[in-house]
Structure 1
């Protein structure tokens, strides 16, 4: 008599056929800072094992990239976060299989805002939709999320949460990368006590209830999806989710979306209104004083990854155009961090930054 395959056997088969499909040559390969993704249709027998129709379902075969770690990750499995989010926030990617070292996700077929509108204004309708997304995220029950690290700040301790982020920036980003990038940091004028400078200037923060945070809602992670009646926005890539002060999520969003001043102000007002309408008015307490602090932190901590990414992006034999492009990225990061870090020295000009990058590149033996 036929007996169903045990769950472990089915999972082994899913992994076997998913590995084969991941290594295929068809589909589209898209890479970002953290992952490389092969977008391809599910085929038999993998489609059968996942309960999908062969050739009809697009999937994302998601493989982490070896990279400089510059962002905190408190939950190893994105799938556990997605499971909690899906029940409360609508259209998010579904994790089809999690193999620990890589994962398989349903693919939301749409257009990334980064492709459709890389720098321009979004318009009030889309701003409102994003504001309501954040309000929905604030409603995800903490009890449905994966366990938090043992050293996590107590509920509502906004100052403790910011201090945790600052320790990560100092210990895991700055100090851990100083052996390789320290001379470059010094050459472009980043003080060795940059994070301490910022934290020493932080005033008392208002305590606010914590919530689930995405922390990386930028144009490449917002997808315009077609629906039966109208288009809607969906937010992808939840691997950097945190649990903490919701003003941090708003601040990272405002900075990374590259809004102009008008839409940044409008988005802030819409976020505040959406949170209050959703019953989360206490999450907006003290935001007039505290949002600038979180914005400043985003600019301050970004100088480390921005400088490292600019340096690492240089080709083996960089030309003048390569160096100028990288130097402009670094100089922009330095200008934005100038006030939060209390920098008194003049920001190096493009030529000075280019020379510093070229010297670092020549001395670094791992980029060639």
Structure 2
């Protein structure tokens, strides 16, 4: 069977995994970017994948979504091909198909299940610091080609400016047609990112390294004292402080834990010989943390509105308002928001948006699978979601 032409093998793998998907035996795990079907491989599929028969795998099918975060490498399989040579615990891509991919599966429990909020403890933070060091060791020369016009190595200010432009040109501006009235009503002006850029920048050059960019509780699988960071589709090449900042914010660490995690990250990098990656940390890390709060206000507000059910009642609108107010509160200083509305104004803005024809009945993100066929994102575990 290994003598089959590559295209024929890929077609056969696709037919087999689709057949297993349609049988519905196993878990269905939905994230923002993919639906993941967890199945067991039969002898034929295992042979084609080079896996042990009857072991679990994940069949990842991309969702059609509005772009809210940068993705510079279209095929996650290309990134994993490099990552898995150096981070052996990361589940590999076993087959890159035209409209999906097959990944290995790691048993364990998502950190979002075992510790959905609150402190995670020094031991786990040290494990995260070790992960960032091992990611920094991945040779840049082996990574896929960067997009045209990508900032030169060490151009940290150019890298941050690229992130700011992406947020304005690919997230904020394109969605103003649909969400502009809502953005305005909750205090987000058209020049929000220009306000950010005028006050925040990087002062120090640091070598670029591979970044995961999305190390949070739902993307971490814990087994015993070991952790595995999954979901590498948003990986990129850039300033390591950006990776640290997204981790600090998306883990929802308290102020004391943020400081401790930063301290452990710095110690681990310097002990590994990566002192240059920590240069200017105290000046530039706050800029990346501020950017994380600034950029997240757009998807957070849009998701709060989109998640309202068609027959939304008072409780739904107040829950959505909670999400909007939290996003605005975090983005207020970085975006210099001055006309921030009160609670009732936010609720009214959401009601107005929801009542506009076609707004509440179309989706920004595809709906979850039918009840009984999937688990929520927080229940996600294993390799890559």
TM-score, normalised to structure 1's length? 0.95
Contact kept in structure 2, 1:208 and 1:284, CA below 8 Å: yes
Give the drift of 1:204. Answer: 4.8
Indicate whether 1:82 and 2:76 are aligned: no
Alpha-carbon distance in structure 1 between the residues aligned to 2:334 and 2:161: 15
Deviations 1:294-314 (A, max 9, x none): 000110111101001111111
Q: Post-superposition shift, 1:364?
A: 4.6
Provide the alpha-carbon RMSD of the alignment: 1.4
Aligned to 1:332: 326
Give CA-to-partner distance per residue, 1:258-279, whole Å, 9 cap, x none: 0111111100000011111111
**8 A Cα contact 1:222 1:235, kept in partner:** yes
Query: Size of the alignment, in residue pairs?
Result: 361
- Which residue of the other structure, out of 152, 176, 179, is the alignment partner of 1:178? 176
TM superposition shift of 1:4: 3.0
* Aligned position for 1:120: 118
Q: Which residue of 1 aligns with 2:34?
A: 35
The answer to whether the aligner puts 1:341 opposite 2:335 as a matched pair is yes
Counterpart secondary structure, 1:212: strand
Structure 2, unaligned stretches of length 5 or more?
Answer: 362-385
Residues 95 and 203 of structure 1, relative CA distance in 2, 3 Å threshold: closer
* 1-structure distance, mates of 2:41, 2:4: 21
Structure-1 residue corresponding to 2:370? none
Measure how far apart 1:197 and its partner are. 0.3
Listed one character per residue, the Cα deviations across residues 105-144 of structure 1 (whole Å, up to 9, x for unaligned) are 1111110000110002111000000011001111111111
Of the two structures, which has the highest relative contact order with CA contacts closer than 8 Å and spacing of 6 or more? 2
Distance 1:350 1:108, change over 3 A: farther
**Aligned residues of 2:40 and 2:56 also touching (Cα < 8 A):** yes
Q: Which of 252, 256, 264 does residue 250 from structure 2 map onto?
A: 256
Alpha-carbon separation, structure 1, partners of 2:137 and 2:53 = 36
Q: Is the 8 A contact 1:331 1:348 kept in 2?
A: no
Q: Which runs of 5+ in 1 are unaligned?
A: none
Paired residue for 2:351, among 339, 347, 358? 358
Shift of 1:10: 1.9
Partner of 1:148: 146
Q: Which residue of 2 aligns with 1:17?
A: 16
**What is the CA distance between 1:52 and its match in structure 2?**
2.5
Moved over 3 A (4+): none
Moved more, 235-244 or 43-52: 43-52
Task: Pick which of 164-173 and 357-366 moved more.
Answer: 357-366
The offset of 1:366, in angstroms, is 4.8
Task: Give the Å deviation of 1:23.
Answer: 2.2
1:283-322 to structure 2, matched below 5 A, reads 283-322=277-316
